[in-house]
Amino acid sequence: MTVIAHPGLVWCGIALAAFAMTYGVIAYIAVSIRIRSSGFTPRDPPPVTILKPLCGADQETYQCLRSFCDQIYPQFQIVFGVRDSTDPALELVERLRTEFPRVEFAVAVDRRQHGSSRKVSNLINMMPLARHDYLVLSDSDVIVKRDYLAKVAGPLLDGGVGIVTCAYRGCPRRGLWPLLGSMFINEWFMPSVRVAAMAGSRAFAFGTTIAIRRQVLDRIGGFAAIANQLADDYRLGELTRAMGLRTVLSEVVVETSVAERSFGALVRHELRWLRTIRALRPVGYGFCFITFGMPVAGLGVLLAKGAAPALGMLCVSALTRLMLHMSVRRTGSSVLQIAVLPLRDTLSFALWGWSFLTRSVQWREERYRVGRDGSVQLVEDLTP
């Protein structure tokens, strides 16, 4: 018996495939365009305090922290913060003191909790030790080049700039799960940021780097203003933009370690990421399914009952997806990496759908509920 496809479904499928194909082409163009220098290296750069909240340590932590000590910059201070005096990260700080005797270090050991976010509480406890008025916040798993500080601090000399932030690249450890996690960052999240930036948006900020003047931070209420926010980095940018100040996306691209140890850890991490985006930008997030190219184009082909236009668009989507993958790779791509592209995109599409089911997320050993305004409340402590 011949099955006749409903014309409405056919056109719906073709449209779906067209949207996926179009986004794929735009994303490839966006990542292929080099960001122009957004600032300058001043002749007399201001002294800077780097804020490094810490919680534990892994095999890459020392090299990450070391890269911030080895900066070509005349005067800077690094403030580290931990909650517990037994935190293993403190041993790494002592090693850095020995290796870099000319760098000014300060360490805050303080268990006081200010709001729901442990990271922001850490930053609040660190601020009394910050000596300089130009501040650079960065996560502990970030590694940078020696000219990093000069490039991200320079734009802050413009009084119209609120924050400076940086794109980043995920560097996976060995194994399938870290590989998939890095692809989520490099081949879905950052391309979407590049697309938004190419369209003129600056509605983003990343914990890998946020540079801000103390005066601006004080005007928005300090770190206390984001003490209950899951996406504290995004809120910092949002609050400064509400003051009429610009967000600058630096030309600098930093690297962050991706070390997912299991499929469950990968899923939990990405669900937290997706549910955070959903809470911050619910309307845009609802339409971002078109960014999951091949699965969406494949769904379009199914709805269109294999119509030639939809099949053609699926082929173009697959080609642009491969080109995107190759363009963000710093080295050659292996057969395995190419083979897992459909798996990676299908998993992303599935997690996007799953993210609508609940508002709970797991962060380290704690489970939180995400409010509609992006705030979080502790639901359960999973520490054994």
Spatial separation of the C-alpha atoms in residues 68 and 148, rounded to whole Å: 8
pLDDT at 365 (0 to 100):
65
Spatial separation of the C-alpha atoms in residues 351 and 359, rounded to whole Å: 13
Q: Which residue ranges in the chain fall short of pLDDT 70?
A: 1-6, 34-42, 330-333, 363-366, 373-374, 376, 378-384
pLDDT at 32 (0 to 100):
87
Tokens for 38, please give them. Answer: 């957004």
pLDDT at 273 (0 to 100):
86
Tokens for 356, please give them. Answer: 């609508």
pTM: 0.88
pLDDT at 42 (0 to 100):
64
pLDDT at 259 (0 to 100):
87
Whether the Cβ atoms of residue 54 and residue 82 lie closer than 8 Å to each other: yes
Query: Domain 48-279, what architecture?
Result: Alpha-Beta Complex (3.90)
pLDDT at 357 (0 to 100):
86
The residue ranges of every structural domain in the chain are: 48-279
pLDDT at 358 (0 to 100):
77
C-alpha distances in angstroms, 317 versus 23, 108, 132, 323, 324? 9, 50, 49, 10, 10
pLDDT at 2 (0 to 100):
40
C-alpha distances in angstroms, 300 versus 4, 120, 140, 186, 294? 16, 43, 42, 25, 10
Of 21, 2, 16, nearest to 304 by C-alpha is 16
Percent of the chain with pLDDT strictly greater than 90: 63
Of 240, 242, 254, nearest to 148 by C-alpha is 254
